[in-house]
Amino acid sequence: MPKARILSSQPRLPALQKRPLSAYTEEEKQTGRAILDTSASKPGHRRFFLLLFGLSLAAYGRLLLQPGVFGDDPQLLYAFHRFGLAGYRDALGYSRPFGGWVYTLLYPLAGGQPLAWQFCALLLRSAGAGLLFDLLRRLGPGWRAPAVWAALLCLLYPGFSQQAHALQFALHWAALCAALGSQILMLRAAAAKDRRKSLPLLFSSLILCALGIFSTEYFFGLELLRPLLLRYFIKNGKQSSRKGRMQLWLPYLFISIVFIFWRLKLAQIPYPRPLLMEAWLANPAAALRYLLSRIAPDLWKAGGAAWVNSFSFNRSNTSLWLYLSLGGALTAAICLACRKDLLADHANRRAGLLLICAGFLSMLAGEIPLLVSQTPLELDFPQNRTTLCLMVGACLMAAGLLRLLPARAGWLAAALLSGFSAAFQFDTAQGYAGAWRELNSFYSQLAHCAPGLQPGTAILYEEPLIPAYPANSLAALLNWTYDADNTSEAFSYDMLRISERLGNELPALQMGLPIRHGNFSGSTSRVLAVALDAHGCLQILRPADEHNQGLPPLLRQAARISNPGGVILASAKLTNPPPFLDLSVENADCGCR
């Protein structure tokens, strides 16, 4: 058979699609003909997308069985409840001013239903993994196996454990889909010979690129992959020059430069701020030491220690046997479902080396937003959200390293890593389900013991109260429970963690002092101090509890100004509490005290 010309004017696609990988020349494997052959949709791709969705159900489906709202989600839902989509500005728009398009698309579909939001977040995360697979497999038939591995690891990445925060991270998953979709369209535009086809693809790609990086800076590091993808992918000999690649990349580079200028100079965003720039101007040597001290540990946490998470068998939410059984079952299922892909063309390991380099560079670039804002990267809640900046790079590196292993060892290692990452996410979802039960129990007891509260009341507490919920989210649910019809900017109630606000919004634990926190105005004369005992029973503290040695010191001090008699309205009745909260939950061991 004569050697196929790249982008021949008369390509015999049907015949070429059936050629085995060994029938391609090395030139065809690395450039045009092999890429052209794999650009067509195949049933195997659709089956793999279904596999991704099935694995997402196994890992995160627990969140659908008992759907709840977690993290910052109550603040978003309460803002939407009060003001519709206009509430985005106060809830999240102050830090993500260009992220409203995601909620404009999703809120009409999901409304105020936690189940719908959890399902949307699950679909978006599955779509992101599927787009990563689609992007990598377009590089040639020898790339299908590492594309499968990278997509599986991206779907189940154990460095990030906040999938349950569906509303908050729907923005991030949508931005990831936009970034990866933009790169896929870029490659399709580069492959198209007809300008009538390439220009719409290029225009769409540029729009998605802007949406991806302006919505959130978390996936800015993926922009570094564009010139690498173009260099590897370009099939047309006239375009394969450095000048041709630069011309294709320039529009995306321009968008990135505009974003950097806007973010550093024009955007008035209180958090995250470019603190490193201020530190550099004040003390360059100290700023440089900070940079050098962060890079290596962060790369190890996101690209190494994160994977170890899934093999830590000291689980707090599931039994060891359940964890091992689930991890083993999912490993076996992945082995069987992906056997052909995981063993395919393993002798050609150039893709593995390229993936390692691309992943490492992507992680370095993804670290930039964290360094500039001096945001820490940790593997514990809540700071593990920042691992998303390095997630795709970490998955590319892991897929590349697996590619370098012997075929069967790499196959088994990839399946084990994916299977136990899914088990880790299932265990995490179990923990969120427990936190949701605690939250419902807390508000049910509060509504029973305090049917009404005087406007201007602040509830003081100290951690641990309910995991997975910051004070602002607890305050949003408190206002929704006791003042559901409030459509003004001012909040009627607030919840303050004492150690976080003492000396600032909460001046001191003394009577008669003003409390100013965001849109809430109150007084230390109208506060309730609360705690949960070891059985989850609500304790409304009174001045006599000042001597209760079973309470933390700050709560004992707060008990002196706790005024249940002055702020609880015993004859009131709740009118329109959050529909997703079950205020009928009763704890037989608890009473009002």
**Model confidence pLDDT, tens digit, residues 121-162:** 999 999 999 999 999 988 877 788 889 999 999 999 999 999
Stated length of the chain: 593
Angle at 41 between CA 329 and CA 131, to 5 degrees: 60
544 burial type by CB count under 10 A (0-12 exposed, 13-18 middle, 19+ buried): exposed
User: Which of 53-57, 233-237, 550-554 shows the lowest mean pLDDT across its residues?
Assistant: 233-237
Q: Answer yes or no: is pLDDT of 363 > 70.
A: yes
The pLDDT assigned to 44 comes to: 66
For 522, phi and psi rounded to 5 degrees?
-150, -160
Share of the chain above pLDDT 90, in %: 62
What is the average per-residue pLDDT within 307-324? 86
578 burial type by CB count under 10 A (0-12 exposed, 13-18 middle, 19+ buried): buried
DSSP class of 222: G
Residue 552: pLDDT band by 50, 70, 90 thresholds? very high
The pLDDT assigned to 341 comes to: 63
- Integer Cα distance of 478 and 494 in angstroms: 7
DSSP class of 455: T
Residue 25: pLDDT band by 50, 70, 90 thresholds? low
Residue 244: pLDDT band by 50, 70, 90 thresholds? low
Q: Answer yes or no: is pLDDT of 374 > 50.
A: yes
Q: Answer yes or no: is pLDDT of 534 > 60.
A: yes
What is the average per-residue pLDDT within 473-497? 94
The pLDDT assigned to 7 comes to: 38
- Integer Cα distance of 415 and 331 in angstroms: 5
465 burial type by CB count under 10 A (0-12 exposed, 13-18 middle, 19+ buried): middle
Q: How far is Cα of residue 342 from the mean position of the Cα atoms in its chain? A: 27
Residue 56: pLDDT band by 50, 70, 90 thresholds? very high
The pLDDT assigned to 182 comes to: 97
Q: Answer yes or no: is pLDDT of 516 > 60.
A: yes
Instruction: Supply 227's token pair.
Output: 């010139």
> Average pLDDT of the chain?
87
Q: Answer yes or no: is pLDDT of 240 > 60.
A: no
Instruction: Supply 12's token pair.
Output: 């015999």
User: Which of 92-106, 159-173, 340-354, 389-403 shows the lowest mean pLDDT across its residues?
Assistant: 340-354
Angle at 317 between CA 580 and CA 540, to 5 degrees: 55
The pLDDT assigned to 42 comes to: 60
Residue 316: pLDDT band by 50, 70, 90 thresholds? confident
The pLDDT assigned to 521 comes to: 95
For 414, phi and psi rounded to 5 degrees?
-65, -45
- Integer Cα distance of 578 and 277 in angstroms: 43
Instruction: Give the other-Cβ count within 10 Å of 144's Cβ.
Output: 25
User: Which of 8-22, 35-49, 476-490 shows the lowest mean pLDDT across its residues?
Assistant: 8-22
User: Which of 54-63, 307-316, 532-541, 582-591 shows the lowest mean pLDDT across its residues?
Assistant: 582-591
> Residue 2: is the preceding peptide bond cis (ω within 30°)?
no
Contacts of 432 (CB under 8 A, 6+ apart): 62, 63, 68, 70, 164, 468
Query: Coil, helix or strand for 344?
Result: coil
Instruction: Supply 250's token pair.
Output: 């320039």
Task: Give the HSE-up count for residue 406: Cα atoms under 13 Å, Cβ half-sphere.
Answer: 2
β partners of residue 529: 460
The pLDDT assigned to 407 comes to: 79
Angle at 158 between CA 157 and CA 161, to 5 degrees: 105
Angle at 189 between CA 186 and CA 191, to 5 degrees: 110
Highest mean pLDDT among 14-23, 37-46, 401-410: 401-410
Q: Answer yes or no: is pLDDT of 339 > 80.
A: no
- Integer Cα distance of 581 and 73 in angstroms: 14
Residue 65: pLDDT band by 50, 70, 90 thresholds? very high
More confident residue, 462 or 315: 462
Share of the chain above pLDDT 70, in %: 88
Residue 1: pLDDT band by 50, 70, 90 thresholds? very low
- Shortest CA distance to 78 belongs to which of 576, 458, 476? 476
What is the average per-residue pLDDT within 530-557? 92
Structural contact between residues 372 and 456, judged by C-beta atoms closer than 8 angstroms: no
Q: Answer yes or no: is pLDDT of 346 > 70.
A: no
